[in-house]
Amino acid sequence: MELSIANDILIGAQLLESPNQNARPDSADIELLVIHNISLPPGEFGTSAIQQFFCNELNSESHPFYKEIADLKVSAHLLIDREGRLTQFVPFSNRAWHAGESLFCERDNCNDYSIGIELEGTDFDPFTDNQYASLVGVTQLLLSTYPLMSIDKIVGHSDIAPDRKTDPGPCFDWDRYKRSLST
Protein backbone atom coordinates (compact mmCIF):
# COMPACT_ATOMS: atom_id res chain seq x y z
CA MET A 1 0.00 0.00 0.00
CA GLU A 2 1.23 3.44 -0.93
CA LEU A 3 1.28 5.70 2.12
CA SER A 4 0.88 9.45 2.10
CA ILE A 5 0.10 12.25 4.53
CA ALA A 6 -2.76 14.69 3.98
CA ASN A 7 -3.75 17.29 6.59
CA ASP A 8 -1.41 15.62 9.11
CA ILE A 9 -3.23 12.27 8.76
CA LEU A 10 -1.58 9.12 7.41
CA ILE A 11 -3.56 7.97 4.40
CA GLY A 12 -3.66 4.18 4.60
CA ALA A 13 -4.04 4.04 8.37
CA GLN A 14 -7.22 3.48 10.34
CA LEU A 15 -8.08 6.71 12.18
CA LEU A 16 -9.26 6.49 15.82
CA GLU A 17 -8.83 9.93 17.29
CA SER A 18 -7.68 9.93 20.90
CA PRO A 19 -8.82 12.61 23.34
CA ASN A 20 -5.31 12.43 24.84
CA GLN A 21 -3.71 15.12 22.70
CA ASN A 22 -3.32 18.86 22.51
CA ALA A 23 -1.70 21.55 20.41
CA ARG A 24 2.06 21.60 20.06
CA PRO A 25 3.89 24.79 21.03
CA ASP A 26 5.13 24.92 17.40
CA SER A 27 3.92 22.34 14.88
CA ALA A 28 6.78 23.28 12.52
CA ASP A 29 9.21 22.03 15.17
CA ILE A 30 8.71 18.27 14.62
CA GLU A 31 12.20 16.77 14.65
CA LEU A 32 12.22 13.56 16.72
CA LEU A 33 10.75 10.08 16.15
CA VAL A 34 10.26 7.93 19.25
CA ILE A 35 9.75 4.16 18.95
CA HIS A 36 7.81 2.39 21.72
CA ASN A 37 6.27 -1.00 22.39
CA ILE A 38 3.00 -1.85 24.07
CA SER A 39 0.80 -4.88 24.63
CA LEU A 40 -2.44 -5.08 26.57
CA PRO A 41 -2.87 -7.13 28.59
CA PRO A 42 0.91 -7.34 29.01
CA GLY A 43 2.34 -10.01 26.72
CA GLU A 44 -0.91 -10.55 24.81
CA PHE A 45 -1.39 -9.54 21.19
CA GLY A 46 -4.36 -9.03 18.92
CA THR A 47 -6.75 -7.58 21.47
CA SER A 48 -8.48 -4.24 21.02
CA ALA A 49 -7.25 -3.08 24.42
CA ILE A 50 -4.50 -0.77 23.12
CA GLN A 51 -6.99 1.15 21.02
CA GLN A 52 -9.40 1.30 23.97
CA PHE A 53 -6.60 2.48 26.27
CA PHE A 54 -5.53 5.32 23.95
CA CYS A 55 -9.17 6.39 23.57
CA ASN A 56 -9.95 6.24 27.33
CA GLU A 57 -12.42 3.39 26.76
CA LEU A 58 -10.56 0.56 28.53
CA ASN A 59 -12.73 -1.30 31.05
CA SER A 60 -10.56 -1.40 34.17
CA GLU A 61 -12.56 -4.37 35.46
CA SER A 62 -11.78 -6.62 32.49
CA HIS A 63 -8.20 -7.47 33.54
CA PRO A 64 -6.31 -7.01 36.85
CA PHE A 65 -3.52 -4.99 35.16
CA TYR A 66 -6.00 -2.47 33.82
CA LYS A 67 -6.71 -1.23 37.34
CA GLU A 68 -3.06 -0.11 37.52
CA ILE A 69 -3.35 2.00 34.38
CA ALA A 70 -6.98 3.11 34.68
CA ASP A 71 -6.15 6.74 35.47
CA LEU A 72 -3.45 7.19 32.84
CA LYS A 73 -4.17 9.46 29.88
CA VAL A 74 -1.77 8.49 27.12
CA SER A 75 -1.68 8.22 23.36
CA ALA A 76 0.68 7.86 20.43
CA HIS A 77 0.50 9.17 16.92
CA LEU A 78 0.56 5.67 15.44
CA LEU A 79 0.22 2.03 16.44
CA ILE A 80 1.62 -0.75 14.27
CA ASP A 81 0.04 -4.08 15.18
CA ARG A 82 1.65 -7.52 14.74
CA GLU A 83 0.25 -7.78 11.19
CA GLY A 84 1.73 -4.40 10.24
CA ARG A 85 -1.64 -2.62 10.22
CA LEU A 86 -1.51 1.07 11.07
CA THR A 87 -3.83 2.98 13.38
CA GLN A 88 -3.47 6.73 13.85
CA PHE A 89 -4.67 8.29 17.11
CA VAL A 90 -3.30 11.84 16.89
CA PRO A 91 -2.69 14.07 13.85
CA PHE A 92 1.04 14.63 13.39
CA SER A 93 0.57 18.38 13.88
CA ASN A 94 -0.71 17.78 17.43
CA ARG A 95 1.08 16.63 20.55
CA ALA A 96 0.45 13.00 21.49
CA TRP A 97 1.05 12.07 25.12
CA HIS A 98 3.58 9.27 24.64
CA ALA A 99 6.97 10.26 26.02
CA GLY A 100 6.20 11.62 29.49
CA GLU A 101 9.11 13.15 31.35
CA SER A 102 11.83 12.97 28.72
CA LEU A 103 15.04 14.53 27.42
CA PHE A 104 16.74 14.49 23.99
CA CYS A 105 20.01 16.37 23.38
CA GLU A 106 19.51 18.57 26.46
CA ARG A 107 15.97 19.43 25.33
CA ASP A 108 13.13 18.27 27.59
CA ASN A 109 9.41 17.67 26.98
CA CYS A 110 9.94 15.46 23.92
CA ASN A 111 6.18 15.31 23.29
CA ASP A 112 6.40 18.93 22.15
CA TYR A 113 8.55 18.12 19.10
CA SER A 114 8.27 14.38 18.48
CA ILE A 115 6.13 11.80 16.77
CA GLY A 116 5.48 8.64 18.78
CA ILE A 117 5.03 5.24 17.15
CA GLU A 118 3.95 2.25 19.22
CA LEU A 119 4.74 -1.26 18.03
CA GLU A 120 2.47 -3.96 19.40
CA GLY A 121 4.96 -6.05 21.32
CA THR A 122 7.08 -6.43 24.41
CA ASP A 123 10.72 -6.10 25.37
CA PHE A 124 10.98 -9.90 25.18
CA ASP A 125 9.35 -10.88 21.88
CA PRO A 126 10.81 -10.30 18.42
CA PHE A 127 8.84 -7.90 16.26
CA THR A 128 7.34 -9.19 13.02
CA ASP A 129 8.52 -8.70 9.45
CA ASN A 130 5.22 -6.91 8.75
CA GLN A 131 5.86 -4.49 11.60
CA TYR A 132 9.34 -3.65 10.32
CA ALA A 133 8.01 -3.17 6.78
CA SER A 134 5.28 -0.79 7.98
CA LEU A 135 7.64 1.05 10.32
CA VAL A 136 10.21 1.56 7.56
CA GLY A 137 7.55 2.83 5.13
CA VAL A 138 6.10 5.25 7.66
CA THR A 139 9.54 6.43 8.78
CA GLN A 140 10.66 7.14 5.21
CA LEU A 141 7.47 9.15 4.68
CA LEU A 142 7.98 11.10 7.92
CA LEU A 143 11.62 11.83 7.05
CA SER A 144 10.55 13.24 3.69
CA THR A 145 7.67 15.26 5.21
CA TYR A 146 9.33 16.82 8.27
CA PRO A 147 12.61 18.54 7.28
CA LEU A 148 13.98 18.76 10.83
CA MET A 149 13.69 14.98 11.32
CA SER A 150 16.67 12.79 10.39
CA ILE A 151 17.88 9.24 10.97
CA ASP A 152 20.02 10.39 13.89
CA LYS A 153 16.86 11.78 15.52
CA ILE A 154 15.12 8.39 15.72
CA VAL A 155 15.26 6.98 19.23
CA GLY A 156 13.66 4.49 21.55
CA HIS A 157 11.58 5.53 24.53
CA SER A 158 14.41 4.14 26.64
CA ASP A 159 16.81 6.68 25.10
CA ILE A 160 14.79 9.71 26.18
CA ALA A 161 13.54 8.35 29.53
CA PRO A 162 16.25 5.85 30.56
CA ASP A 163 15.39 5.82 34.25
CA ARG A 164 11.73 5.02 33.56
CA LYS A 165 11.42 3.11 30.29
CA THR A 166 13.00 0.13 28.53
CA ASP A 167 11.05 0.07 25.26
CA PRO A 168 11.24 -0.77 22.45
CA GLY A 169 13.50 -3.27 24.22
CA PRO A 170 16.35 -5.61 23.35
CA CYS A 171 14.30 -7.56 20.79
CA PHE A 172 13.92 -4.50 18.57
CA ASP A 173 16.50 -4.85 15.77
CA TRP A 174 17.84 -1.32 15.38
CA ASP A 175 20.44 -2.41 12.80
CA ARG A 176 17.82 -4.06 10.59
CA TYR A 177 15.52 -1.05 10.89
CA LYS A 178 18.14 1.62 10.17
CA ARG A 179 19.68 -0.42 7.31
CA SER A 180 16.22 -0.70 5.73
CA LEU A 181 15.78 3.08 5.89
CA SER A 182 18.77 3.66 3.64
CA THR A 183 17.67 1.25 0.89
Catalytic residue set: 118
Contacts with 8 (C-beta within 8 Å, 6 or more apart), sequence order: 91, 92, 93, 94
Cα–Cα distance measured from residue 101 to residue 148, given in angstroms and rounded to the nearest whole number = 22
DSSP state of 38: E
Angle between helices 129-145 and 174-181 (to 10 degrees): 50
Cα–Cα distance measured from residue 5 to residue 46, given in angstroms and rounded to the nearest whole number = 26
